[in-house]
Amino acid sequence: MIQIERVLQQVLEWGRSLIGFADEHAVEAVRGGQYILQRIHPSLCETSARTGRDPLDETLIVAFCRELALLFWLDDCNDLDLIAPEQLAAVEQALGQGVPCMLPGFEGCAVLRSSLAALAYNRRDYTQLLDDTRRYCAALRSGHAQAGGGGWSYAEYLHNGIDSIAYANVLSCLSLLWGLDIVALRARPAFRQVLRLISVIGRLQNDLHGRDKDQSAGEADNAAILLLQRYPAMPVVEFLDDELAGHARMLQRVMEEECFPAPWGPLIEAMVTIRAQYYQTSIARYRSDIAGGVSL
């Protein structure tokens, strides 16, 4: 069995300890995790001389993919009501504080948090990951609430979308596992600008590509749908395409001006391109015209 299949098996197995967890969450997580790790592999080899962390260490890869699967599962818990509201509240509390969940059926949460705490190259990254988790959960909740008629402006939507896209979580988890020093980097305003820009890019890519599916699912938590509801005459797709291109240019400029250590250059590039990769291969999650059935 090749490594990626073993990783998938371990994510699927772990997911069985979470009510509502679906094979799709594991499959999408492994696909995304593999894409990122492949793209930054040469650069991670460089840093491994300093950190001693092997880019191909299976324990680290499994932990990373489990965290990604957790993010997918949490998203669907909010959007698809996979679990009861009181269960979701207990899960969010547990994950954000790094404590076991008070309700049964979510033992995977504590398993994952304990393993990440133990694997953390730098303890500060674990604290950062908990903070990112609290922000992600709050943003999913706010997005869900406003889509019911809250009346956000585009600016407020994007501000929340920065957290709900969970890119900060993904990067903190990578940093925790491979010693990428994200907490020190976050002290630099330019790095936090990069985090905001890459997150807005991911949010706009997600919303543009998921527009048809969200629309047919009655999901209003999407920039295109929100703008079209508020301004029916607005050329929304053209506007958001231009916004996406503008954010990409701003990101490129700050990445050229600032000098971030390896593997942050290739890593941020991978985050820009990961969505295109997803939309080509992951048919069920982002398209409405093809029903079900994902495969790795």
Residues that bind its own copies (CB under 8 A): 152-156, 159, 189, 192, 200, 230-231, 233-235, 238-239, 242-243, 245-247, 249-250
CB of 222 to its own copies, least distance (A): 17
Q: Tell me how far, at minimum, the Cβ of 133 lies from its own copies, in Å.
A: 18
* Closer of 53 and 134 to its own copies (Cβ): 134
Question: CB of residue 223 vs its own copies: minimum separation in angstroms?
Answer: 12
Which C-beta is closer to its own copies: that of 257 or that of 289? 257
Under a CB-based contact definition with an 8 Å cutoff, are residues 283 and 290 in contact? yes
**From the CA atom positions of the chain, what is the Rg in Å?**
18
- Least Cβ distance, residue 175 to its own copies (angstroms): 18
Residue 19 or 250 with smaller CB distance to its own copies: 250
Closest distance between its own copies and the C-beta of residue 221, in Å? 16
Choose between 245 and 296: whose C-beta lies nearer to its own copies: 245
57 versus 156: smaller Cβ distance to its own copies:
156
Burial of 144 per CB tally in 10 Å (0-12, 13-18, 19+) = middle
For residue 235, say if its preceding peptide bond is cis, omega within 30 degrees of 0: no
The residue written with tokens 């900060």 in the block is: 168
Closest CA to 288 of 221, 182, 212, 185: 212
State both tokens at 269.
């590039």
Q: Check if the beta carbon of residue 27 is closer than 8 Å to that of residue 246.
A: no
d(CA 72, CA 166): 10
